[in-house]
Amino acid sequence: MDRSPDTTMNPTFHPRSPAQAQAQTDVAMLGASMGDDSSRAARATAAVLDRERLVALSAPAMEDLHRQFDSPTITVLLADSAGGVLRAIGGSGRSGDSVLASSSTCAGSDAAPLTRRSDDHACTSTPVPRPAVAPGQLGIAVPILPPAGALLGFIDADAAPLEWLGHANALLHTTASLIEHRLIETEPRGFLLLRFHRYATVLGTPLEALVLFDADGAVLLANHAARTQLAPCAHAPGGAAACFASQWCGIVGYAALGLRQPFVLRDRRGTDFSAQASLCRPAP
């Protein structure tokens, strides 16, 4: 009795021709390509949403900074990490311009000379000659959540006295801290928000260290104070375990209790901090 498969009724057993095999391969490659395109589109959409959130959340602080400068010759600028201007408040800012900082700003330094150019939208590896805007103009820029965050700065069309720059630099850093706080506190991916400082009275102010973790204890975002306190472990692969001697499960436990009373947080160098922790969303 012939037990060979009936290939006329069961297409599974049809032998594939080279053309059919190639067609199937092409379809698979097309599907993979469409998946890659979808991933790229999703990342691009997320980047646009992050940029919109950055501009929206920074607007009140930028406007307040411009009022405090109280000068018609000063333009307050918000730029992305590549130097493209996202928002300008004042007389000399134009949306088509870009902000180009020196290499120290690209690396996330505290402050650096600020220049404007319309033909270059990237941070360079060499310092830009200063002043590059125009003779008699100057500016300062500070990073917001580097390396992929933004730059906050100002340009003054009139060269200000050097003694005024110290005051302007302090205002700029305080404003950047306020913007970092808003961005970190409203980041939708966060699981646990940790505030800490050597002094408990500083908690809840722009001077506190603020870190946002995911559910596994990896650092998502950290403000300037936290980056200074925890360097170089702030973005290390070990996350909370690399930064603190206090157990991650213990920190989560404090957050779950919802206590307002600060607890003692110890880093890997043996330094004790006053800390508060809160859960941004339930544990998965």
Structure tokens at 148: 């992929």
* pLDDT value, residue 92: 53
Kindly state the helix (H) or strand (E) to which residue 114 belongs, with its residue range: strand 112-117
Query: Which has the higher per-residue pLDDT, 241 or 276?
Result: 276
pLDDT in tens, 214-240: 999 988 999 999 988 887 676 667 788
The class that CATH gives domain 47-185 is alpha beta
- Domain ranges within the chain, ordered by starting residue: 47-185, 192-279
Question: How would you class 28 by CB atoms within 10 Å of its CB: exposed for 0-12, middle for 13-18, buried for 19 or more?
Answer: exposed
- Cα(278)–Cα(29) distance, integer angstroms: 46
Percentage above 70 pLDDT, the chain: 61
107 or 182: which leads in pLDDT: 182
What's the pLDDT tens digit per position in 145-167?
887 789 999 988 876 666 678 88
> What pTM, to 2 d.p., does this model score?
0.68
**Alpha-carbon distance 211 to 192, whole Å?**
8
Cis peptide before 147 (omega within 30 of 0): yes
Helix (H, G, I), strand (E, B) or coil at 119: coil
